[in-house]
A and B are shown apart, each in its own frame.
Chain A
Amino acid sequence: MHSNDAQLLVLTALADGEKHGYAINTAIKELTGARLGPGSLYGALARLEARRLIESAAEPAGQKDRQRIVRITAAGREALRAELEQMTHVAQVGLRALRQAPA
C-alpha cells in the first residue's frame, strides 16, 4: 500500500479516539477489509509522529503492557479534514462526470 494511503487510514482510525497499534490496524480492517502490513503501519506511525500529526497518549505502563497508545493531534485533525474534503471533491466530480457521460 502507498505510504500516503497508510497515513490517511491511520489518521482516520484515530479520529474517534486514542488507540494502540494493533487496535488501529483492527479499525483499518473494519474500514477497508484488510489489515496493513507491519512495515506499512509502523512506517506510517513513525512518519505521522515525526510530522506531529499524532502523539503518544501515554507511556507504556509496565513490562507486561508495553503497547504504545497514540492519539491524533489538532494538526492531524486538520490534515485529515483537508485530505478527506479533497477526496470528497474528487469523488463528486468523478461521479458527476460518470452520470453525464454517454453509456
Chain B
Amino acid sequence: MNTTALLVALYPPPVRERWGDDLSREIASGGPRSWPDTIVGAVWLWTRPSDWPERAPGQTRRLVLVELAAAATFVALLLRAAGQPTARFTVSFDHPVTSAWAAVIVAGFLLAAPLPPRWAAVRRLPAVFLRTLAAPAAAFTAMYLLAHSGLSAHPADVGRYLAPCYYWATLAFIGLRLCRLARRVFALVAPPSTPRLSLATLLVAIGLALAAAQNLASEPASSGRAALSVGLGGIAIAALATSRDLRRVARQDGGG
C-alpha cells in the first residue's frame, strides 16, 4: 500500500467511496506537503457523521458504533502501554471513586448497544466470529506459546528488540481484527437511534475526559503519564465532537 492509498484509507468509508479517486489524485499532485492537511481532514470528517453520504438507512449509525469500538480498542492499547495504574487511576469494585471514569464509559457503551438482531442474522454470527477471529486467535496462541517456551526468558540481542515489536504487532493486529468484527457484527444488527447514540458518545467522552484528568493528577508525574492523558483527552474531544454532530442530526431529523 503506497502513502496516498494509506492516507485515503484514513477517511470514513462512505467519504472514501464517494471522493476516494479524486482525493488520491489531489494527494498525489500535492506531494508530502499535502499530507498534514489530508490527515487533519480525515480526523475532522470522522467527528462529523452528518457529512457522510448515506447509501442505506442506518449506515451512518452503524459506522459510529464501529468508531466507538475502535476508540475502545485504542484506549485499551494505550492503557496497556501505560503499564501499572496508579492508586488514583485504579479500576476495581474496592475503589468506586477512582473507578468512576470507567463506569461512565461502560454506561456509554451499554447505551450504544445495538438492538438484538433477527434470527436469520443470529445464525450468521458464529461464522462471522470464526472467520474474523481465527487469525488473531492463532497470533495470540503463538505469542502465548512463545512467552511460555523459555526462549523469551533469556533472549539473544536481536530477540531483545524483536520480542516487544512482535508483542505490540500482535496486539495491534488483534485490535484491528476486533474492529473488523465490530463492523461485520454491526452490519447484521439494528443500530440504536441517533439521540441514544449521541448520548452514549457523550458519556464515553465524559468518561475519557475524567480518565485523562485523574491520570494527570496521579503521583508521581511522568512524561509517559502525560502522554497517556493527551491520548485519552484527544479521543475524548473527538467523541465530544461526534456527539454534538449527532445531536444536531437528531434535532434535524426529529429522532433517529
Chain A residue numbers with a CB within 8 Å of B21 are 60, 66-68
The answer to whether A22 touches B22, judged by C-beta atoms less than 8 angstroms apart, is yes
Q: How far is the CA of A3 from the CA of B42 in the complex (A)?
A: 13
The answer to whether B50 touches A39, judged by C-beta atoms less than 8 angstroms apart, is no
Q: Out of B26, B50, B52, name the residue touching A38 (CB < 8 Å).
A: B26
Chain A 23-64, CB-CB to B under 8 Å as 1, else 0, gives 001000000000111111111011101100000000010000
B25 (CB) vs chain A CBs: closest residue: A22
B37 (CB) vs chain A CBs: closest residue: A37
Q: How far is the CA of A61 from the CA of B189 in the complex (A)?
A: 35
The answer to whether B53 touches A41, judged by C-beta atoms less than 8 angstroms apart, is no
Name the interface size band of chain B. 20 to 34
B49 (CB) vs chain A CBs: closest residue: A50
Chain B CB within 8 A of A20 CB: yes
Least Cβ–Cβ distance between B197 and chain A, in angstroms: 17
Interface residues of B in 30-82 (CB under 8 A from A): 30, 34, 36-42, 44-45, 48, 50-53
B44 (CB) vs chain A CBs: closest residue: A43
The answer to whether A45 touches B19, judged by C-beta atoms less than 8 angstroms apart, is yes
Chain B residue numbers with a CB within 8 Å of A41 are 26
Number of interface residues, chain A, beta carbon within 8 A? 23
Interface residues of A in 66-103 (CB under 8 A from B): 66-68
Q: How far is the CA of A43 from the CA of B52 in the complex (A)?
A: 10
The answer to whether A39 touches B38, judged by C-beta atoms less than 8 angstroms apart, is yes
Chain A CB within 8 A of B113 CB: no
Q: How far is the CA of A3 from the CA of B47 in the complex (A)?
A: 13
Chain B residue numbers with a CB within 8 Å of A43 are 41, 44-45, 51
A20 (CB) vs chain B CBs: closest residue: B22
Chain B residue numbers with a CB within 8 Å of A45 are 19
Chain A residue numbers with a CB within 8 Å of B37 are 36-40
Chain A residue numbers with a CB within 8 Å of B237 are none
Kindly list 7 other residue pairs between chains A and B, CB separation below 8 angstroms, not including A37-B37, A66-B21.
Answer: A21-B25, A22-B22, A38-B34, A45-B19, A46-B15, A68-B19, A68-B22
Interface residues of A (CB under 8 A from B): 3, 20-22, 25, 35-43, 45-47, 49-50, 60, 66-68
In the A-B complex, the 4 residue pairs with the smallest Cβ-Cβ separation, listed nearest first, are A39-B41, A37-B37, A21-B22, A38-B26
Q: List 13 A-B contacts (CB under 8 A).
A: A21-B26, A35-B30, A37-B40, A38-B27, A39-B37, A41-B26, A42-B11, A43-B45, A47-B48, A47-B51, A50-B51, A50-B52, A66-B22
